[in-house]
Every structure is written in structure tokens, then in C-alpha cells.
Amino acid sequence: MAKQQVPVQEGLFTWPSDSPRLIGRREKKTGRVYFPAIHHYVADEDSEEVLLNTRGKLWTWTIQGFLPKNPPYKGPETVETFKPYGVGYIELPGEVIVESRLTVADPGKLKIGMEMELTIIPFREDENGNEVITYAFKPVEG
Amino acid sequence: MSDVCIIGIGIHKFGRTDGVSGRQQGAYAVRQALKDCSLEWEDMQFAFGGSAAAGNADSLVNELGLTGIQFVNVSNGCATGGSALLSAYTAIKSGQYDVGVAVGFDKHPRGAFNADPKASGLETWYGETGLMLTTQFFGMKIQKYMHDHGLSPETLGLVAQKAFRNGSLNPNAWRRDPVELDTIMHSDMLSHPLTKYMFCSPAEGGVALILASEKVARRYTNRPVFLRAVTMKTRHYGSFEVFSPYLALQRAPAPTVFASKAAYEMAGLGPEDMDVIQIQDTESGAEIMHMAENGFCKDGEQEKLLREGATEINGRMPMNTDGGCLANGEPIGASGLRQVYEVVAQLRGECGDRQVPGNPKTGYTHVYGAPGLSACTILQN
């Protein structure tokens, strides 16, 4: 039986879905978009939920070179198995710049301005044997 | 209204002091500062103090004496020391008090700071998935800045090299050994483009400053240093700050720009008037960006200035002469006051091997940090 997939946080992205989207919130008065929507406790008449673009441009990036401390990190790696991972901000045109893990961790393959797209990745296994998933951005092929 | 002066300065060595609590280091610094101006704890009318991780500052009275003093705890992230100083300044400037103390101290565990998403108003997923590290933020911010303004990675190395060289001349610094540029550039890449030697580490230390109205200051010292400006500002919408799951599409100037501008206006002076400068260098990239944000150069000019030696102790804008955060480490509560300590010592001509030549008259300090705030001072003798 396939493992059950559980989002790391309810309301971060649409799930289950064949074409998942990040969930943001737009303030009606200013037009400003926030992410994630769950973080912004705003009256319904003042704001609306928006499903964000799945493609954007890499705004900046880094590579996490050491195993983060637990807490708060809950990744499955140990000091021995840890592999650096990419982190960046992706500018979603006309909406907002979102922070995300990247599927690439090679400085030679990351360039500010390159096209990126949303993907969902397995992150860890929880205590019930479920696969915890989160969002990430990957370079657009071609 | 009376001018406000700094008449006494005290410091507990930065770095690691096993077996001595952060609070004890703070109390040590206060005693040193009192001794520096021949005053007693009983003479202090007020105190403002803070630490991020070493307990309430007002408990210092247990070490220093139960005199009934008004003691206010300050907790303002990386501007804790700057805010304590601002409060002390205001207490005297208003005419309410004549003499008091601003103190900051800290003692952090080894390694990167353990961030708590809830304390920063974020959900647990952010920390859980490995996005909540100050080091990542610093890497991404300077990555963008270097890309936009055409700076080479070696610029980062030059900042660190200068910091360790200056630290080697400062007996109160943590890192006392110069480090070769090559070693800095090829040490572990912690958060691209920043290597291990380009980051400061959480550490320990304490600093205290005795402030007095000019009238009272003349009674105790013939070398008062005047606090011409003290400012503190927080971020605007569109600022790029630590622990941000999203950023606005449009950019706003950094909080430093506002704090710095306010300081120059308050003092009626400009960046060209500063003879000695301490700016926040949590990592090499910070010093580079803060050179421009504080008005000492234009964006993109930093590499040339560093290569020319403009920011060396004997350069035309001596910067982080005590080794900065890179060589002293970062005890959050004490860092901002360390900068003021260094500038006062420089203006008095007491810095020995690291003394800025030519009798500096005017100095500048700047802190910046979480959650997006900045505090600046301008000092003059």
C-alpha cells in the first residue's frame, strides 16, 4: 500500500491536487498579497484567498550548507547523511515574492532571474508512517 | 536642555568565559564603567539594560547593590543595547535625571541561534522544513546585492580579513589571530556565498556606559564624550528582513537608512564628518551593505574602497576598528554598546595598537538586526 501523503502544514498549498498551488491572501484595500494565507488573520470582507502563480523568477538564493538545529528543524538527516539544500525567493509576477526550498543545490545551476516552477516534494516520514510533503521550486526545463 | 555625555565606559571581555554568567559579565562591566569615572553604584539615579538570552537586566541590582534605583529592562532584539542607550539619553535630556547607566550583556549557547517560529509569529512548518536560519537570510541578501551591484565574492573575504586583523590588536576581542584571505575564501561554505570565517558567532560579553548631563559630567571628568545623536527605527513595508516567508514586490529602503538619516539630522553632521565608524558586521555582507546604507559610499563602490584600504584603521574612514562582530562575536544585548565603547575609547585616544591616528573627534555607531530594526549614534569630544 502506498504511503499516505500529508502536507507539512494544512492550508499552505492546495492538496490533494493534480496541479497544486500555493495559497496566498490579497488585501482588498491595498491589493497587497501575503503568503501563506493561514498566517494572516484578516476579516473576510477585507481580504480574499488567492491561488498563487506556479511559475516565477528566481529573485535570490543560497545553499544551506550545514544541518540546521532541531528544534525547529525536523528533516530526517543526520550530520553524516546531510546533503546541502537550496533555498531561495521566487518572484511571482504581479503577486508576491515567496520563500521556498529549491530542488537544486548546485551554485553552478542557480542564477538570479532564471525561470522556476512549483513542485511538491517528500520531506520526511512522520511517527504514523505517513509521508510528510512540502512545497519547493525547481528550474523550468529547456 | 542639557547636552548628554558619556563619562564612564566598562567592558567584560567578549568571546567565551566559562563559569561566568552573562549577568556577572554585565555587573563586571558596570563596575568597570563606574571606576572609569570614579563614581559609585549608589550615585546612579537610573539604569536601562537588557540581554536577549542571559536573564533580566534588573537582576543586576543583586550584584551591584540594592539601592532602590529605577531599573528598566529593555528587550528590543538586536537593538537592545541601542534602545537602552536611547532611553538613558532621553532620561537625561528631558531633565528628569542627571546621571545613570546603560548596560547590555549576553551569553548564548554555541552554534547558530535556535530560532523559535512561534516567538517570531510564524507557524512551525517554517522552522520544520529548514527555512528558519538567520544564516540563510544573510546569504540570500548579499547574494542579491552582489548580483545587483557587481561585487566579487573576494570583497566578502576582504571584510573578514580586516576584522580579524583589527581583532588581533584588541585585548577585549574574542578572535585574536589574523586569518589569511585564502583561508577565509576556502573555509566551509555555510550559506552561499558566505563561508565560515565570514560569519560572526553567538558569544558572550558585557558593556556598560555611564551617562550624565553636561553640568554633572564636568564634575567627574575632563574628557566627556558628547552624545550628539541617538536614533532607533524599525522596518517599512517592502524591506527585506530575516524570517520572511514572503516579501513585497516593491522594495523599501532598509531600516538603517532611516535610523542613519535621522542621526545625521539630529547631530547636524554628515557621513563625511565621521573620523571613526562602527557598523554592524554580523557577517561580511552586512558590513558591505551597511557602508552604503549609512551613507559612507554608493552601492557598488565597496570593493574599490576595501581594496584601497579606505576602511582600515589608518584609512580615511576607519571601520570596525575593534574587529567588529566578526572578531568579537555576537552577544546580542551587548553588541550595540560595544560599538559605542570603542568609539568613546578612540575619541579619548586610549586604543593603543588599534588607535586611529590624527586625534579623531567624531565617531559613528550602527546596529542592525532582527526583526528588522536599526539604531545609530553620533559621538563627539
Return contacts of B21-24, CB within 8 angstroms, 24+ apart.
B21/B54, B21/B55, B21/B107, B22/B51, B22/B53, B22/B54, B22/B55, B22/B105, B22/B106, B22/B107, B22/B204, B22/B206, B22/B331, B22/B333, B23/B51, B23/B54, B23/B55, B23/B57, B23/B59, B23/B60, B23/B63, B23/B105, B24/B63
User: Is A94 at the interface with chain B, CB within 8 A?
Assistant: yes
| DSSP codes, B175-223 | --S---HHHHHHS-EEETTEEGGGB--B-EEEEEEEEEEHHHHHHH-S-
pLDDT confidence of residue A1: 55
Q: Which residues of A are less than 8 Å from B192 in CB distance?
A: 61-63, 65, 107
B78 in Cβ contact with B256 (< 8 Å): no
Q: What residue spans define the domains of chain B?
A: 4-110+200-380
- Nearest chain B residue (CA) to A73: B128
Q: Print the domain residue range for A116.
A: 5-139
**C-beta neighbour count of B63 within 10 angstroms:** 15
CA distances from A17 to A100, A102, A140, B199, B310 (A): 19, 20, 20, 42, 57
Q: Supply the pTM of this predicted model.
A: 0.96
**C-beta neighbour count of B45 within 10 angstroms:** 17
CA distances from B134 to B6, B111, B117, B331 (A): 33, 12, 12, 15
User: Is B124 at the interface with chain A, CB within 8 A?
Assistant: yes
The rounded percent of chain B whose pLDDT value lies above 90 is 93
Q: Which residues of A are less than 8 Å from B236 in CB distance?
A: none
Report residue A14 as a C-alpha cell.
492546495
pLDDT confidence of residue A57: 98
pLDDT confidence of residue B143: 98
**Residue A44 reports pLDDT greater than 90:** no
Q: Which residues of B are less than 8 Å from A85 in CB distance?
A: 130
The angle formed by the CA atoms of residues B153, B203 and B60, to the nearest 5 degrees, is 145
B4-110+200-380 adopts what CATH topology?
Peroxisomal Thiolase; Chain A, domain 1 (3.40.47)
Residues (pLDDT < 50) of chain B are none
CA–CA gap between residue B233 and residue B369 (Å, rounded): 11
pLDDT confidence of residue B121: 84
pLDDT confidence of residue B167: 98
DSSP B316: S
- Nearest chain A residue (CA) to B138: A62
pLDDT confidence of residue B292: 98
How would you classify residue B372: left for phi > 0, otherwise alpha for psi between -120 and 50, otherwise beta? left
pLDDT confidence of residue A43: 77
- pLDDT band at residue A2, thresholds of 50, 70 and 90? low
How would you classify residue A96: left for phi > 0, otherwise alpha for psi between -120 and 50, otherwise beta? beta
A136 in Cβ contact with A102 (< 8 Å): yes
User: Is B110 at the interface with chain A, CB within 8 A?
Assistant: no
Q: Which residues of B are less than 8 Å from A97 in CB distance?
A: 246-249
- The total of structural domains in chain A comes to 1
Of residues B140, B104, B148, the one with CA closest to residue B10: B104
CB within 8 Å: A87 and B140:
yes
pLDDT confidence of residue A102: 98
Size of interface A-B (CB pairs under 8 A): 120
- Nearest chain B residue (CA) to A132: B129
- Residue type at B350 in one-letter notation: E
Cβ density class B323-350: b for 16+ within 10 Å, e for less = bbbbbbbbbbbbbbbbbbbbbbbbbbee
- Nearest chain A residue (CA) to B128: A73
CB within 8 Å: B114 and A64:
no
Nearest CB to A62: which of B115, B127, B191? B191
CB within 8 Å: A99 and B244:
yes
User: Is A28 at the interface with chain B, CB within 8 A?
Assistant: no
Q: How far is CA A40 from the centre of its chain?
A: 17
Q: Which residues pair with A96 in a beta bridge?
A: A92
Q: Which residues of A are less than 8 Å from B193 in CB distance?
A: 62
Length of chain A equals 142
CA–CA gap between residue B178 and residue B176 (Å, rounded): 7
**C-beta neighbour count of B227 within 10 angstroms:** 26
pLDDT confidence of residue A128: 93
pLDDT confidence of residue B109: 86
Q: How far is CA A132 from the centre of its chain?
A: 13
**Shortest Cα distance, chain A CAs vs residue B299, angstroms:** 18
Nearest CB to A87: which of B136, B193, B249? B136
Q: What mean pLDDT is reported for chain A?
A: 95
Run of H or E residues at A23: strand A23-27
pLDDT confidence of residue B1: 72
CA–CA gap between residue B368 and residue B286 (Å, rounded): 9
